[in-house]
Amino acid sequence: MKIVYCGDVVGRAGRDAVLTNLKKIREQFKADVIVVNVENAAHGFGVTPGIAKDFLESGADVLTTGNHVWQQRDIIPFLDENKRIIRPLNYPETANGHGATEFELPNGKKILVTQVLGRIFMESVDNPALTIDKLLKQYKLGGNIDAILVDIHAECTSEKLSLGYYLDGRVSVVAGTHTHVPTADAKILPNGTAYITDVGMCGNYDSVLGFEKQAPIDRLCQKYNGSRLEVCRNNGTVWGIVVETDDKTGLSKSIEQFHI
C-alpha cells in the first residue's frame, strides 16, 4: 500500500497548495490513500465543515486535526456525522467525533488512521501510549487490518520518538505533526514501522509557522500580545511523506519526504 500524509495545512496558502496538488500527488506517488492534517486550515485555527468537504471532494481520503479541533464551533456536528475526519483519540470518550477511522480502498484493503496528542508542554489529556494500546487490542496488523497510521500531534520531540519506538512493529507509520517544521529523520525503525518526528507544514514558509512575521516578532521583542496573528495568504508549499507498506505484514518498506 502506498500512503501519503500531508502535514499541517495552515490558512489559505496551505489550502490552495494542497488542493491544487492533490491529483498530482496521487498520480506522482501512485498513492492508494491520501491523509491530510487540516488542523490549521481555517484562518490558522481549526477547520470548518466547508473546508473539510473541499479536501474530501478534491481527493483526500482521511483528514486529521489536532489540539485546535474545537476552534471552529460548526465543525463539532460534522465530526459526528463524517467518519473520514478524526479528532485526537486521547480526548475523553464522551467528546464529539471519532478518534480513529477505518478507510477501505477500492481493492478491499483497509487502513486504520488514528491520532493522539502529546502531553509535554500541551493540555492535559489521557496517556497517548495507553490510549493507543486500548485501540490496538481490536486490530492485528497484516491480519484484520492492512495498514495503521498513527499521528502524534505534539510539541516535544522526545515524546514523539518515544511513542515511535513504543509502537514499532505494531503499526505501519508513526508520523509527528504540530510543530510545523519538517524534520530530517524519516526512517524505518528496527521492527518495521516508518517514523518521522514532524512531517512539516503545508503553508507559506516565508513566515513564522505559516503566520505573517510581525506579530510573532512583537511578542518576541516586547512580550506584547495585542497584535493579532494573521495567516499568510499566498505562496504555499506542500510538505509530506510517502510510505510504502508490505501487503502481507502491513509493516513499512520505505518512507520518503517530499515537498511541492
Q: CB–CB of 259/186 below 8 Å?
A: no
Q: Give the pLDDT of residue 229.
A: 86
Q: Give the pLDDT of residue 219.
A: 84
Q: Give the pLDDT of residue 217.
A: 84
Regions of the chain where pLDDT drops below 70: 224-226
How many angstroms separate the CA atoms of 53 and 185, rounded?
32
Q: Give the pLDDT of residue 218.
A: 85
> What would the CATH number be for the domain defined by 2-259?
3.60.21.10
Which of 43, 68, 98, 259 is the catalytic position? 68
Q: CB–CB of 194/150 below 8 Å?
A: no
Q: Give the pLDDT of residue 80.
A: 96
CA atoms within 13 A on the CB side of 94: 0
Q: Give the pLDDT of residue 138.
A: 96
Q: What cell numbers appear for 84 in the block? A: 473520514
Decide if 180 is catalytic: no
Render 35-63 in DSSP notation, one character per residue.
EEE-TBTTTTS---HHHHHHHHHHT--EE
| pTM of the entire predicted model | 0.95
